[in-house]
Amino acid sequence: MPLATTADLVASARAAGRGVAAFNVITLEHAEGIVAGAERAGASVILQISENAVKFHGGHLRPVAAAAVEVARAAGVDVSVHLDHVEDVTLLHESAAAGLSSVMFDASHLDYAENVAATRAAAEWGHANGLFVEAELGKVGGKDGAHAPGVRTDPAEAAEFVAATGVDALAVAVGSSHAMVERTAALDLDLIAALVTALPVPLVLHGSSGVADDNLRAAVNAGMTKVNIGTILNVAFTGAVRDVLDGDAKVVDPRKYLRPARDEVAAVAARLASVVSGMPR
């Protein structure tokens, strides 16, 4: 299918009262597994490449972006490619030429006024280059204190931030945290509903790996649109690799452990894409 845009996928999901799952890509096997799972679920998805993933690939966006874009183009469902948690403005400015249709610019580590100024500049550049721009107000937990447990987004401040920056979507703090390996986070559904009422743009949930399926469904029903998922894929991927290598110390062919790892990513992606999109598997 033709490469989809994040703007179209998010708009369609929001209009239908559904969510769209955005899965983190680190390796080619991640991208292939995610798309295989999306096809199994019959759901559109977003492939996300984070700034940290780019650093893992030697600081070069184009090779990993090109791989994700080609996997998306070959998919049997609509798939877009997104650059996530970008703090480096130089990397931001590489995104459009790399074939991506959206970016999450992350200035949440700055104080409010600096965040507004940096995000507004990123949004103006992104819109001039045809990109859908997501941002984050304040902190949401996990990594180095960002997204800290207990932090919550204030609807009035969020509305002010969106108006001041012109962003197309906002990541909000409603109870989730990045990098959780146990699904114990409890989302504030009343706050999600209040944010939906207060904001003219779709909401984005980060740290969704730590949220149980029923709570994810409830969050989408409350108005959450884009749902970011990463760590739970890596738990499945690494578990499959570990099982193969622990079972046979003589295995040296990477295909012997990357194939089951990719299959496990596909299984998790299929389930969560169905949960978020509201489509039964």
Q: How far is CA 256 from the centre of its chain?
A: 29
Radius of gyration of the chain (CA): 18
As a whole number of angstroms, the distance between CA 264 and CA 33 comes to 8
Tokens, residue 256: 């012997």
Q: Which amino acid is at 62?
A: R
Q: What is the DSSP letter of 93?
A: T
User: One of 78, 84, 106, 188 is an active-site residue; which one?
Assistant: 84
Asked if residues 205 and 223 have their Cβ atoms less than 8 Å apart, the reply is no
C-alpha distance from residue 13 to each of 9, 126, 141, 257, 269 (Å): 6, 22, 26, 35, 17
Tokens, residue 193: 């509903």
Examine the residue annotation and report whether 168 is marked as an active-site residue of this protein.
Answer: no
Backbone angles phi, psi at 278, to 5 degrees: 80, 15
Tell me the helices (H) and strands (E) count for the chain, helix number first.
11, 8
C-alpha distance from residue 199 to each of 109, 113, 270 (Å): 22, 19, 30
Q: State how beta strands 102-105 and 79-86 pair.
A: parallel
Tokens, residue 52: 């940290």
State the catalytic residues: 84
